[in-house]
Structure 1
Amino acid sequence: MKTTASFLRVIGFAILAFFLLELTIGSGEQWAIIKYPIIWAVLAMLLFFAIALETIAAALQRILFGGLNPEAKERYLAAEKLREQNRFGWFKRKYSEMLGAKPVETEQEIVLDHNYDGIRELDNKLPPWWVYMFYATIIFAVVYLVRYHIFDGTDQREEYEIEIAQAKAEVEEYKKNNKDLIDANTVELLTDASDIEAGKSIFVANCVACHKDSGGGGIGPNLTDDYWILGGGIKNIFHTISEGGRAGKGMISWKTDLKPSEMAQVASYVMTLHGTNPVDGKEPEGEVWVDENAPVDNVEVKVIDSTTIKIEMNNEPVVDDLRAEGK
């Protein structure tokens, strides 16, 4: 028992020292023990000090006990036994009183009249923990009834929807602060003037040699018409910039030179070039690309002759908006 008590005291001292160091050492939002690894050494020294004190105390006690005569040793052992019995005596007495347990000698006072083949039943009280737990469930039920059925509190479905909305907002904020966590599947068109301008700067620095500063195309294809070799749209353009063009005759991969956020800016800038029709534009290459998921803003039907019609779809909401804003 004494060994257990010593062990508990050492552990308690170590925990207390840990929290005191955390409270007294300013480390901001980070744990002090992580920010300042030297604290591990301090805790180890304090733990060693506590163990040393317990060892010295136990050794002194054995030495003093060994110096007693037999009669004194018996009195000391009797006093220790009595002290052990009286430890937590008040709690033990209160628990016994609440339990209402009867000693074996007086069990006849609580024997019920039930008799099943010689088996008789004692009318013992229920354990206190069971009774108090039962009362707690009643109180909880009343509070729950008032909170959710009378005052129409937030139910589990609403709490779930609130948490989902909060999680989505946190994800968006995280993406906003970590713009490089994107790829061809998650990239989205950027419309802020700062992003478009940044994309233009990167385009001028790296792409004009093949596509010209107007995007009309030189060695590389025309970026202003409706024809695309590897597909148009923000995702296809981002993928082409990242992974490169056709093997052996397309442009190189830029993913080792540009960050994902920079490639998204370039791709967004390239999309603003659509429809600018520069005078030195190169002949179309590839196939006409239409975004199947984009809304159709305007459909114009032209009758060419009695047997032929021409349908033109205007689907440039982002480009039109950017031009209207002078971007």
Structure 2
Amino acid sequence: MITYINTAIAWQSLAGNLLKGQEIHHTIFLISVVVAMLIILIALYMIQRAVQTMYRTTFPESWKAEQTKKIEATQQRAEKRKLQWAGLLGLHKLEEEKDLVIENHDFDGIAELDNPIPIWFNFLFYSTIIFGIGYLFSFHVFGWGLNQDQEYVLEVAQAEEARQVYLSQAANLVDETTVTVDSTGALAVAGKAIFSANCAACHGGQGEGGIGPNLTDNHWLHGGKIRDVFKTVKYGIPDKGMVPWEQTLTPGQIAEVSNYILSLRDSKPANPKAPEGIEVTYE
């Protein structure tokens, strides 16, 4: 058995070494290919330069003619771009000013030129007119878009939806160390339905007690503060048959039902169960 294990280990080591060797060979091959490509590119560049030098030396007149032709073509392209730019901006050469002077429109030697409106300004001006017409028909004639009042209503609705999502998420961040009594009573109202669906079977529909203790008096077995009630509902009392509700109810729902349970205090239901536990004094 030991021999078999040693043999297996040896084969695994050999296989690992072979794989490592293949990886090294693969890397060396890739580096070699990259270096070869660089050498080829450098060689091609050197050959091109050598051919140009030979051509310039052998046929100097043709070389000069070609260079002159390239320079002239470059100058023509630059002049063409300059004219196009001047036309777009409505610019004119200084020697053309004499043809643009408006007669009888000079003062102290300062003359007025009849320069046409630049093309870009006309384009911008007519674009605003087209945009204005499109805006008018889209928002005020056909009603394809939302006007300011409609946008306001929509954004308010979206903000309210986002607020509700935030509140629902924030409600579930509560635990037995941070839960507090809701002074508005909203959580207690929401917790009534949860109590009726999950707690009434043991504690009675009015909290008067049944299998479980009475929740309407001031006596508590596991503490009567909001944090105590939250903890009891969340983790349960398995030894006494009360199941933990943390897997069934969200933290927000536990906070709601805890607030509802505290709201049952001194409600004096019919046929209440006898007090159990320690009496708690509330401030």
- The two structures have a TM-score, normalised by structure 2, of 0.48
Higher relative contact order (CA closer than 8 Å, sequence separation 6+): 2
- The two structures have a TM-score, normalised by structure 1, of 0.43
Larger Rg: 2
